Amino acid sequence: MALQQTELRPMGKSIARKEDPRFLRGKGRYVDDVILPNMLYMAILRSPYAHARIRRIDTSAALAAPGVKLVLTGEDLAKMNLAWMPTLNGDQQMVLAVDKVLFQYQEVAAVVAETRAQAEDALQLIEVDYEPLPVVVDPFKALEPDAPILREDREKKSNHIWHWESGDREETENVFRDAPVVVKQDVRFQRVHPSPLEPCGCVADYNTATGRLTFYVTSQAPHVHRTVIAMLSGIPEHQIRVISPDVGGGFGNKVGVYPGYVVAVAASLKLGVLVKWIETRTENIASTSFARDFHMTCEIAAREDGRVLGLRVKTIADHGAFDAAANPTKFPAGLFNIVTGSYDFKAAFVEVDAVYTNKAPGGVAYRCSFRVTEAAYLIERTMDVLAQRLKIDPAELRFRNFIRKDQFPYKSPTGWVYDSGDYEKTLKLALERIGYDELRKEQAEKRARGEFMGIGISTFTEIVGGGPKNTFDILGIKMFDSAEIRVHPTGKVIARLGVRHQGQGHETTFAQIIAEELGLSADDVLIEEGDTDTAPYGLGTYASRSTPTAGAAAALCARRIREKARKIAAHLLEVGEDDVVWDGTAFSAKGLPGKSVTMKDVAFAAYTDVPDGVEPGLEATYYYDPPNLTFPHGAYIAVVDIDKGTGAVKVRRFLAVDDCGNVINPMIVEGQVHGGLTEGFAIAFMQDIPYDSNGNCLAPNWMDYLVPTALDTPHWETDRTVTPSPHHPIGAKGVGESPNVGSPAAFVNAVVDALSPLGVEHIDMPLYPWKIWKILREHGINE
């Protein structure tokens, strides 16, 4: 049962989510709920071809259609210097196609009309004369010397975007040369899409009299959107107000700036009226930030007893037509080099080459922690390949290789400094809770009867909290985050943060942090995020960074308030400041029992009875530059049974033991874990965005791209260990993405474990029943 919000000392308690009453009663306000007078509607014409030259666009018939006010093409935008926009990974992307299109569903032209239906109808009247060009969908073929060059705007005349490496090549080669055992596995992490319930959209409102642009957008990073729009449009930053209303799911899909946003702003600038643009489901899946699409080869060098020595990883990253991954500047492949995971490797070397293909752009989204999903999946999968090859139990292999508790802070061979962890404890708890030994016995019996039952383990390490200013920036802006707290005369608080939640419960958990520090109840604290006019600058919510960055800022900001409150308390208690003691709910005077004042008393005095020499009011701002990232970890175990007749996998049990340090709200953390596991399950079993050889996107809707229903979803069991972060002010680590980072490997490991008697060592996701059925059939099982 969730507890009341009115309790004092709310830290660590499962208080009910403050945001739920409005979400559950349909009283949320999303971007499509923004309906303002004289608003026009925009629709976008998209390319049917994956690669084609545009010979001519004729917009005259569309312009003459009923209700149509404006038609824009790339040429029109070029005149406004808006034909191209920068991406968050240092590339540039076409806003509306100029000269050619590079992926199916690419933005070609836009119509603005009085109604959405009129705008969409008029799209049909735009005539585009395309000359189809050869299409490249396979990133390996894109690298071949005779491949057609996709990006003629670049100086470099190849489809290769960048090469990135990490670790020590030579040392790793040496370790491999001398190693008695080497396993090698090709692993694909397929192209998927976060597909939030609410697609992307915006309302652009340029006021020709004031010169102000108000931009409503479903955004995870409103301040970043404001800065990008200012840089692009030339409107001064303070004349732009970005408002991100309630966000109906983000999962990384709402970090980037999409062409539709820029076109809507351009249209509003041109017409001087409000322009709304809301995507369809197909536009969302087929054109906005996809996730993964990594082709990886992993090699582990080890001793005969399973002790790992070296790790070598080679990856081809398919970025589609533009490199629009949202990544910190210094990490073109995100934090993929966390790929040594929870294991103590002597040496590691990781290489990633990024490639253009005729597919939708994007690259980092879907609960990914900047590509940690790919890294965790790869190492957890390959550790199982090693276990199988050496005939060592996968749990035992992990125990032999874990970074030990006493090795923290641990410096990984690719340069990360893990803050804290206790991997052995977490896996032990998981094995006990699931009854591992019993399950292995049951499995042996079933195998003897020709049945296919599997147990899969994943003991992942996450890396979140981007990040420290010396290494982390986006477009040059350092990745700190911020909080501003205002305590009003009656002791009620409004706090604003630089992040922007999308369902994670910040209105509750950040209120808990501040209430705890100020001796108030969470009910006394209103959290506001998402309005750049009021919130302090921050880089937004993604990469599970909110708690590690803005959460830290909130705690330290509240402590700053408490320090000032102490001065006022001293005055009220009529003692010296040094004699004031804070016990968590009130100030009292040392040696004077029975005499105390609460934060509410102090707040009132801050406006009514301020001592001389103290500034009135009770407000503070804090910008937090984290000293390091936080490294949550977990041990996940999946138990599956495979139906021999159909190849269908039943996930009989799934246990997730997570360690995200100190927990602010256990119920919210559990909710995050449930959601992330469901998405990890979807990726493992049902999600993929394939393209045919002509570059047609084969899953641009929810008929072909599957989102699990409650009926599909397994029952989740959860537990927790607590290893606080030593550098975070309240010892918390992020958790939002852990379940999606850790779970795919557990599912696949379980299915491969079930099929291992047939000699199966790896199957690429998604594990569709037909793939498994085919394997069974090849082995004469279900004929």
Instruction: Give me the residues that bind ligand CUM (CB under 6 A), please.
Output: 220, 250-252, 255, 364-368, 542-543
User: CB 255 → ligand CUM: shortest distance, Å?
Assistant: 6
Q: How far is Cα 761 from Cα 299, in angstroms, rounded to an integer?
A: 14
Give me the catalytic one of 104, 185, 220, 502.
220
User: CB 271 → ligand CUM: shortest distance, Å?
Assistant: 33
User: CB 221 → ligand CUM: shortest distance, Å?
Assistant: 9
504 binds, among ligand CUM, ligand MCN, none (CB under 5 to 8 A by kind): ligand MCN
| H helix and E strand count, the chain | 19, 33
In the complex with ligand MCN, the residue whose CB is nearer, 219 or 749, is 219
Question: Does 626 contact ligand MCN by CB under 6 A?
Answer: no
User: CB 537 → ligand CUM: shortest distance, Å?
Assistant: 19
In the complex with ligand CUM, the residue whose CB is nearer, 443 or 549, is 549
Contact with ligand MCN (CB under 6 A) among 547, 588, 598, 718: 547
H/E element, 646: none
User: CB 759 → ligand CUM: shortest distance, Å?
Assistant: 36
User: CB 37 → ligand CUM: shortest distance, Å?
Assistant: 34
Query: According to CB under 6 A, which residues from 174 to 203 bind ligand MCN?
Result: none
665 binds, among ligand CUM, ligand MCN, none (CB under 5 to 8 A by kind): ligand MCN
**C-beta separation of 621 from 537 below 8 A:** no
668 binds, among ligand CUM, ligand MCN, none (CB under 5 to 8 A by kind): ligand MCN
User: CB 178 → ligand MCN: shortest distance, Å?
Assistant: 41
Q: How far is Cα 311 from Cα 349, in angstroms, rounded to an integer?
A: 6
Give backbone dihedrals phi and psi of 267, rounded to 5 degrees, phi first.
-65, -40
In the complex with ligand MCN, the residue whose CB is nearer, 249 or 489, is 249
Give me the catalytic one of 200, 202, 298, 368.
368
In the complex with ligand CUM, the residue whose CB is nearer, 136 or 325, is 325
In the complex with ligand MCN, the residue whose CB is nearer, 72 or 511, is 511
506 binds, among ligand CUM, ligand MCN, none (CB under 5 to 8 A by kind): ligand MCN
Q: How far is Cα 254 from Cα 591, in angstroms, rounded to an integer?
A: 55
Q: How far apart are the first and last CA of the chain?
A: 51
DSSP string, 261-313: HHHHHHHHHHHSSEEEEE--HHHHHHHS-EEEEEEEEEEEEE-TTS-EEEEEE
**C-beta separation of 306 from 344 below 8 A:** no
661 binds, among ligand MCN, ligand CUM, none (CB under 5 to 8 A by kind): ligand MCN
User: CB 663 → ligand MCN: shortest distance, Å?
Assistant: 4
Beta bridge partners of 601: none
Other beta carbons within 10 Å of 398: 25
Q: How many CA atoms lie within 13 A of 111 on its CB side?
A: 29
Give backbone dihedrals phi and psi of 52, rounded to 5 degrees, phi first.
-160, 150
Contact with ligand MCN (CB under 6 A) among 139, 320, 734, 766: 734
In the complex with ligand CUM, the residue whose CB is nearer, 88 or 760, is 88
Alpha helices in 333-421 (DSSP H): 372-390, 394-401
In the complex with ligand MCN, the residue whose CB is nearer, 1 or 448, is 1
In the complex with ligand MCN, the residue whose CB is nearer, 73 or 628, is 628
Q: How far is Cα 541 from Cα 553, in angstroms, rounded to an integer?
A: 14
**C-beta separation of 623 from 536 below 8 A:** yes
Query: According to CB under 6 A, which residues from 469 to 508 bind ligand MCN?
Result: 501-506
Query: According to CB under 6 A, which residues from 631 to 660 bind ligand MCN?
Result: 660
**C-beta separation of 35 from 72 below 8 A:** no
Give the CA diameter of the chain: 90
Going residue by residue from 27 to 46, which x/- string records binding to ligand MCN, judged by CB under 6 A? --------------------
263 binds, among ligand MCN, ligand CUM, none (CB under 5 to 8 A by kind): none
Question: Does 723 contact ligand MCN by CB under 6 A?
Answer: no
In the complex with ligand MCN, the residue whose CB is nearer, 46 or 191, is 191
Going residue by residue from 396 to 425, which x/- string records binding to ligand MCN, judged by CB under 6 A? ------------------------------
In the complex with ligand MCN, the residue whose CB is nearer, 51 or 254, is 254
Give backbone dihedrals phi and psi of 255, rounded to 5 degrees, phi first.
-90, -45
Contact with ligand MCN (CB under 6 A) among 69, 367, 381, 564: 367
* Residue 368 annotated among the catalytic residues of the structure: yes
DSSP string, 596-607: EEEHHHHHHHHH
**Range 262-283 burial, b when 16+ CB lie within 10 A, else e:** bbbbbbbbbbebbbbbbbeebb
Residue given tokens 């199966």 in the structure block: 760
Other beta carbons within 10 Å of 691: 22
73 binds, among ligand MCN, ligand CUM, none (CB under 5 to 8 A by kind): none
176 binds, among ligand MCN, ligand CUM, none (CB under 5 to 8 A by kind): none
Give me the catalytic one of 351, 462, 529, 737.
737
Q: How far is Cα 267 from Cα 702, in angstroms, rounded to an integer?
A: 31
**C-beta separation of 665 from 14 below 8 A:** yes
Among 92, 15, 750, 103, smallest CA distance to 439 is for 750
Q: How far is Cα 572 from Cα 592, in angstroms, rounded to an integer?
A: 13
Give 548's contacts (C-beta < 8 A, 6+ positions apart): 464, 465, 626, 629, 630, 725, 728, 732, 733, 734
Q: Which two tokens mark 393? A: 């139990």
Give 650's contacts (C-beta < 8 A, 6+ positions apart): 640, 641, 642, 643
Contact with ligand MCN (CB under 6 A) among 10, 222, 306, 661: 661
Question: Does 227 contact ligand MCN by CB under 6 A?
Answer: no
364 binds, among ligand MCN, ligand CUM, none (CB under 5 to 8 A by kind): ligand CUM
Q: How far is Cα 320 from Cα 286, in angstroms, rounded to an integer?
A: 12
Q: How far is Cα 117 from Cα 658, in angstroms, rounded to an integer?
A: 48
Give me the catalytic one of 226, 367, 381, 562.
367
332 binds, among ligand MCN, ligand CUM, none (CB under 5 to 8 A by kind): none
**C-beta separation of 498 from 540 below 8 A:** yes
**C-beta separation of 361 from 105 below 8 A:** no
* Residue 374 annotated among the catalytic residues of the structure: no
Q: How many CA atoms lie within 13 A of 407 on its CB side?
A: 16
Query: According to CB under 6 A, which residues from 670 to 699 bind ligand MCN?
Result: 672, 675
DSSP 685: H
User: CB 505 → ligand MCN: shortest distance, Å?
Assistant: 4
User: CB 665 → ligand MCN: shortest distance, Å?
Assistant: 4
* Residue 737 annotated among the catalytic residues of the structure: yes
User: CB 637 → ligand MCN: shortest distance, Å?
Assistant: 22
Strands (E), 601-671: 619-624, 633-642, 649-659
Q: Which residue is nearest to ligand CUM (CB)?
A: 252
User: CB 725 → ligand MCN: shortest distance, Å?
Assistant: 9
Q: How far is Cα 607 from Cα 638, in angstroms, rounded to an integer?
A: 57
In the complex with ligand CUM, the residue whose CB is nearer, 19 or 422, is 19
* Residue 114 annotated among the catalytic residues of the structure: no
Residues making contact with ligand MCN (CB under 6 A): 249-252, 367, 501-506, 509, 541-547, 551, 660-665, 668-669, 672, 675, 732-737
The catalytic site residues sit at 220, 367-368, 737
